[in-house]
Amino acid sequence: MSFLEVFQYTRQESIMHSLDPRAKLLLAIVLAVISLLFLEIFPLLIILAVLIPLMAAAKSLRRWLRSMKGLSVLLIFILIFNTLLSTYPNPLNYSIALVLRLIALMTSFSSFFLTVQPDELSQALIQMRVRFEFAFAMSMAMRYVPTLGQEAYAIMDTQKARGVELDKGNILARIRNIIPIIVPLIIVSIRRALLIAESMESRGFGASKNRTYMEKLSFKKRDWAVCIVSLIALVLVFYIRLYIPLPDWSIPL
């Protein structure tokens, strides 16, 4: 599960962190699309050579490496099996490219999630005309995820203290033992939701169609720069893909 670390926001001061989330969203999508255009090793390596400095710009290189380490087993698995089972002319090549593409895709999206605070994301969505209730529901879900996690652990502890053995028995027994965990979790969550609703209602939630926002996101010069560069890069890469033949850099098997 540690590979998920690269999708978790961390509060930091970096160039990437200071960009507008909408610019970063465009960047991430463009990078992902570019990654999907290629299945050859050379271009993918170039893409990664662009992505890794991006991770560094987000001051998250170490996180990225840790996540990759966590993913390494899966990646090697993909590599081996695809090499053995592939019907492509040069299976090893193909498999390596697949793995590189996977890494590129993950890194593209992680550049977004690592550097965008859930509140910023919610604000970005609102300014992109998503309805407030939906955007807020999303950021609230993120806010309460750690709380829910703690609650789940507390429930497990409580039931274990009554003698429920969660890690013993066959498949059937283990599934049955989920009930004493899930039921309280659901009930507690519903109770909590009602209390949260009371607090929100008491502060006027949903009252006005003209909700205001204390801090609005606005594009700065560098955000425009990022967007323009991303779009130019996208067009260029499409052009290359369609019209320019690539040198064959395959690894002979």
The CB-of-54 to other proteins minimum distance in angstroms stands at 25
| CA 141, 147, 150, 151 torsion-angle sign | negative
Looking at the Cβ atoms of 179 and 232, the one nearer to other proteins is 179
Looking at the Cβ atoms of 85 and 215, the one nearer to other proteins is 215
Looking at the Cβ atoms of 4 and 236, the one nearer to other proteins is 4
Find out whether 50 and 35 touch, Cβ atoms under 8 Å: no
Residue with tokens 């400095």: 53
d(Cα 230, Cα 221) in Å, to the nearest integer?
14
The CB-of-69 to other proteins minimum distance in angstroms stands at 18
HSE value, Cβ hemisphere, 13 Å, CA-based, for 205: 12
CB atoms within 10 A of CB 71: 19
Q: Which residues bind other proteins (CB under 8 A)?
A: 11, 117-119, 139-140, 142-143, 146-147, 151, 154-155, 157-165, 179-180, 183-184, 187-188, 191-192, 195-208, 210-216
Looking at the Cβ atoms of 146 and 247, the one nearer to other proteins is 146
The CB-of-169 to other proteins minimum distance in angstroms stands at 12
Amino acid at residue number 104? A
Looking at the Cβ atoms of 87 and 212, the one nearer to other proteins is 212
Inter-residue long-range contacts of 121-124, CB under 8 Å, 24+ positions, other chains counted: 121/21, 123/21, 123/213, 123/215, 123/216, 123/217, 124/20, 124/21, 124/22, 124/25, 124/217
